[in-house]
Amino acid sequence: MVKRLPTAMYRLIGVVGTSRSVTRLHPHLYRLTGGRGPFGRNFGVLNIIVSTVGRKTGKPRDVPLYAFPDGNLLVVIGSNAGDDREPAWVGNLRATPDVHVQVGRERRAVRAREAEGEERARLWALAANGYPGYELYRSMTDRHIPVVVLERRLEGDR
Asked if 78 contacts 145 with a C-beta cutoff of 8 angstroms, the reply is yes
85 secondary structure, DSSP code: S
Residue 30 sits at φ, ψ, to 5 deg, of -60, -50
Least confidently predicted of 16-25, 77-86, 117-126, 141-150: 16-25
Question: Residue 30 — very low, low, confident or very high, per pLDDT cuts 50/70/90?
Answer: very high
Is the four-CA dihedral 149, 153, 156, 158 of positive or negative sign? negative
CATH numbers and ranges of domains, the chain: 7-152 (2.30.110.10)
Q: Tell me what the pLDDT averaged over the chain comes to.
A: 93
Tell me the per-residue pLDDT of 87-140, one tens digit each, with 9 for 90 and over: 999 999 999 999 999 999 999 999 999 999 999 999 999 999 999 999 999 999
- Longest Cα–Cα distance of the chain, Å, equals 45
Query: What's the rounded Cα separation, in Å, for the pair 52 and 148?
Result: 14
Q: Which residues of 5-15 are buried (b: 16+ CB within 10 A; e: fewer)?
A: eeeeebbebbe
State residue 5's pLDDT score.
Answer: 85
pLDDT cut 70: percent of the chain above it: 96
Asked if 93 contacts 152 with a C-beta cutoff of 8 angstroms, the reply is no
State residue 9's pLDDT score.
Answer: 87
The pLDDT of 44-59, averaged and rounded, is 96
pTM: predicted TM-score of the whole model, two decimal places? 0.92
